[in-house]
Structure 1
């Protein structure tokens, strides 16, 4: 009986976490308000990354405007993850002239900006952390 109760509590917690991620994602998609989004995400504290892992990638992706290192959502299936150097005008450039680095990935027949980083090494680490061995 105790195992069953624990299992129910775990599922309820996952539902709560998914709901929090969904709510902030909807606010971001509708209003683009990163300040309030950050405040709400901060309330998840140490559970933020776990909340992302049990949520839809569709909901996690906009939250990377606030925290660029958030892990992939549970249904993320990107192919061809790659780093694109961008200049200050957000145009593709040589890595030595880059102002920031986008991580892009393909899903179905579309290419998505998955996240963006100030340093190439951080973008590489993000890909390593989110690519299954």
Structure 2
């Protein structure tokens, strides 16, 4: 597991791979801070679109050269947004020659989804 995935998980995550939902157990201070970083990264429309473009790409990865034309933003701005998604542990990348290729970290998204799903299910049974 990479350090970036730990940002999503938090240090207090149970060993079975599932975080307690928001309504099933109070968040610890460290876990709340880690999750806030992830939600902050997702709180921007450009970053949400970038994540969606990367996640929905056939083959599971996309070149930055294919991401930049989808936006009316400069390449450095796109790179900044991608950096924030990487720091939040949602995506990773690899340089291949001139270009950088990005892919989603499924485990990070699964854990975030489990946290939100559990919260929703707990809210409907209360």
Fold match (TM-score > 0.5): no
Task: Report the structure number with the largest CA radius of gyration.
Answer: 1
Q: Of the two structures, which has the highest relative contact order with CA contacts closer than 8 Å and spacing of 6 or more?
A: 2
TM-score (norm 1): 0.28
